[in-house]
Amino acid sequence: MNVFNNINIITMIMIGIFLMPLLTGALYPVSTNRIHHSLLSIMNNLKFILGILLSINLFRVIFSQKGEGQFQVLCKLKNLI
């Protein structure tokens, strides 16, 4: 029981992250379809993260408070019309 008293939650999470792929590989054999699905999943996740980062940067450009942001320019154009 002394072994379990010295293990913290971070160590348990790291062990779980290490063991999950090993258990998955042992339970399900490697096939072409699984590899294809994994690569497509990674690509979709990367596109999602890239979309989030681009939307954050676009939001910063549009609503920039430094000097003339795009939002201020659009407001001035709206007032002219």
Confidence check: pLDDT of 1 > 60: no
Stretch 42-57: mean pLDDT: 95
Query: What value does the mean pLDDT take over residues 15-25?
Result: 90
pLDDT of residue 80 exceeding 70: no
* Residue whose tokens read 């001035």: 76
Between CA 73 and CA 79, with CA 76 as vertex, the angle to 5 degrees is 150
Minimal CA–CA distance to 69: which of 61, 80, 58, 79?
61
What pLDDT does residue 74 have? Answer: 65
What predicted TM-score, i.e. pTM, was given to this entire model?
0.53
